Amino acid sequence: ALSFLVVSCPCALVISIPLSFFAGIGGASKEGVLIKGSNYLETLSQVKTVVFDKTGTLTQGVFEVSAVHHSPMAQEKLLEYAALAECASSHPISKSLQKAAGGALDRSRVTDIQEHSGRGVTAVVDGVAVAAGNGKLMEELGVAWHECHSVGTIVHIAVNGEYAGHIVISDVEKPHSRDAIAALKAAGVTKTVMLTGDAEPVAKAVSAELGIDEYHAGLLPGDKVDQIEKLLAAKKPKEMLAFVGDGINDAPVLSRVDVGIAMGALGSDAAIEAADVVLMDDDPAKIALAMRIARRTKSIVYQNIVFALAIKAVCLLLGALGIANMWAAIFADVGVMVLAVLNATRALYTKDLTKK
């Protein structure tokens, strides 16, 4: 009876299973991936659909003005108007306009700045009403605007209610983005999706370049949530969906999906707070690595469960028949626990996973 009681003690399960998850989280943190809990680590192992925001996630968010089109005024004046209207924003596009206009600007020249979420800004510069944003902002203001066939982010400018031209701003892809998409597919991800507020030509070009399965362009922050809801409704019950983003507008989506992944270096505080996983160096290639770590950790957990239960079942049977003595019972309790703990520590070592 004492042997039976000792064998039935669940020490191996109680200690080794949480330890396996802690080791997996520790191994991921050594690779620059912060996972906020064991439940997120387990969910990450089941991800089949990965949705990306574009700017700052798949691209560097380093924008440069590449062209100015359809401008009845001098290009320098148009850039100055656009930069001053955007001077209160920290968005990479705003910074690129300020850089193209010549750096430091006198903000005292600007009043009545109003930000239109997902569309642009309006302001009064030197007493002149200036609007800078996308085509939706121009339509709201009743300004007739011209389409641009160049690939890039298009900032349309209106001065005193009249169309003044548009500025083409180009973004740069992150060096590992294409490899990151390929690694995700190799890791078992069946669908990759890109959501962006950029125009259709930009989204199409980027998705084709990176090998993304599906994209949705011209989205406002609220539209991204709607697209995520559609993707969540379409997935199978045991398949998980992850979203990768970096901006403050991505926070609602990050908190809605099964696993939210944020960029930790350049990402906004709101995105990092809402996310379940944080990539400390903003490298999207680390997502596939985190999934491999999660899957191996889950495999180690199952190994410990099966091993502990199998040994205990055998010893319980032998103990009930009077064959197993107290030494066998101690092995089935303490011995199995020690072996399970040693197996759990394997999740700490990730060098072999980084080579895949």
Three-class secondary structure of residue 295 per DSSP: helix
Residue 266: strand, helix, or coil: coil
Q: Characterize the bridge pairing of strands 277-279 and 33-35.
A: antiparallel
Annotated catalytic residue 179 = no
Residues 297, 302, 307: CA angle, nearest 5 degrees: 125
Q: What residue type is assigned to position 234 of the chain?
A: A
Who contacts 340 (Cβ-Cβ below 8 Å, separation ≥6)?
12, 13, 15, 16, 304, 307, 308
Spatial contact of 178 and 211, defined as CB atoms under 8 Å apart: yes
Q: Give the separation between CA 239 and CA 218, rounded to whole angstroms.
A: 27
Alpha-carbon span 117 to 33, nearest angstrom: 31
Helical spans, DSSP H, in the chain = 2-7, 11-30, 38-44, 75-85, 92-100, 135-140, 177-186, 200-210, 221-234, 251-256, 269-274, 286-320, 326-330, 336-344, 351-354
Integer-rounded Cα Rg, in Å, for the chain is 27
Q: Quick count: other Cβ atoms within 10 Å of Cβ 334?
A: 14
The encoded tokens of residue 51 equal 């949705």
Cα–Cα distance list, 225 to 52, 176, 216, 255, 256 (Å): 13, 27, 12, 10, 8
* Catalytic-labelled residue, pool 53, 171, 246, 250: 53
Q: Phi and psi at residue 117, in whole multiples of 5°?
A: -55, 125
Of 268, 205, 184, the C-alpha closest to 59 is 205
Which residues are catalytic, by number? 53
